[in-house]
Amino acid sequence: MRALTSEAEALWLDFLNNSDNRGHAERIILGDSLQRHYEACSQSSREVVRWVSQYVDRNNVKSILEVGSSIGMNCVALAEEYPGAKVTGIEPEHEAVNVAEALSKEVATCRFVRGFGESLPFEDGEFDLILCSTVIEHVRDVEKVISEMTRVLSKNGVIYIEAPNYIWPYEPHLQIWTIPKLGKKWMSLCALVQGKRKQAPFLDHLQLVTPHQIKKLLLNNELAIRNVFYEKVERLLLGNSVAIKAYPGIAKALRMLNKLGVGKVVISVIFLIGLYPSLMFVAKKGQ
C-alpha cells in the first residue's frame, strides 16, 4: 500500500471536516492515523469489488460507472480489478471529488465527475457495469436514479445495488435501534433516547429504502434481478466461507438453526417479510 501524498492527506482532512454532506452523520477515522484509515478503506473497497465481480462476465466489461463514488476508493479498486476498463465515478460532494482525483492520479483509467444520479451526464448504454453501493438511500429521487442507471447501462450490462434495509430495526448511519416503518419522527425520538440527538437531523435526507421497493423499481425498468443477499445467506447455511461482518451473531444463529434442520424455513420466512439487514440486488439487461 503506497503512502498518502501530502496533497491527498490535506484534501482528505477537508473532506472529513465537511459537515455539509449527505453521506455520513459523523465522519471518523479508522485506526490511529489517516494512513491507516486509507489502508482500511482500500481493503474494504477491494472486498466490495471482489464480491460484485462474481456476478459479472469480465470479458464484457469495458466501461464502469460508480454512482456516488465519494472519495473514489471503490473506483480505484475497480480499476485494479479491471485494468482494461475505463472507470468513472460521479459524486455530488466537491470535497470528495477532490480527494478522489488526488488518490487516483496514478490510475490513468479513472475519471471523476461532479454530479447527481438523478441526471447522469452520460450517453445511453455507455456502461457495462454500474456500482451503487450504500448510496441509493442518500439520493433525492430513488426512482429517477434507477431509471437513469438503466438508461446508461449497456445491452448486456450489470447493475449492482447495495443499501441498508429499512425494514431492519437498526439505522446504521446514526447507529441506533428503532422500530421499522414508524417513520422519521419515531427514529428521531430513538436517536434522542440513545444519545444521538446531534446526529438526528441527518435522518431528514435519508430515503428509507426496502427490498420490496427496490425490486419493484428494477422490474419496472424491465431488468432481470437477483437478490444476492439471499444467496449470501444460503451460502452461509451450506457452510461456505461468507462474511456477514456487521452482524456476526446473526450468522452464528443461522448456522445453529441450520444444524437443527430449520434454517431454510426460517430464512424463507425472513426474506418473505423482508426482515434482514441489507438489500443487495444484481440487475441485468439482455436477459
pLDDT at 12: 87
Q: Cβ distance 195 to 175 under 8 Å?
A: no
pTM for this entry: 0.90
pLDDT at 33: 87
pLDDT one-digit tens code per residue, 259-271: 777 767 777 777 7
pLDDT at 111: 95
Q: In which band, very low, low, confident or very high, does the pLDDT at 19 lie, cut at 50, 70 and 90? A: confident
Percent of the chain with pLDDT over 90: 67
Estimate to the nearest angstrom the gap between the alpha carbon of 37 and the chain centroid.
18
DSSP output for 28-79? --SSSSHHHHHHHHHHHHHHHHHHHHTTS-GGG-SEEEEES-TTSHHHHHHH
Q: Is the pLDDT of residue 274 over 90?
A: no
* 172, three cell numbers: 446504521
Q: How far apart are CA 208 and CA 138, in angstroms?
A: 9
Q: Could you tell me the fold of the domain covering 1-164?
A: Rossmann fold (3.40.50)
Q: Is the pLDDT of residue 244 over 60?
A: no
Q: In which band, very low, low, confident or very high, does the pLDDT at 238 lie, cut at 50, 70 and 90? A: low
Q: In which band, very low, low, confident or very high, does the pLDDT at 243 lie, cut at 50, 70 and 90? A: low
Q: In which band, very low, low, confident or very high, does the pLDDT at 1 lie, cut at 50, 70 and 90? A: low
Domain ranges for the chain, please list them. 1-164, 168-206
SS (H, E, C) 38-50: HHHHHHHHHHHHH
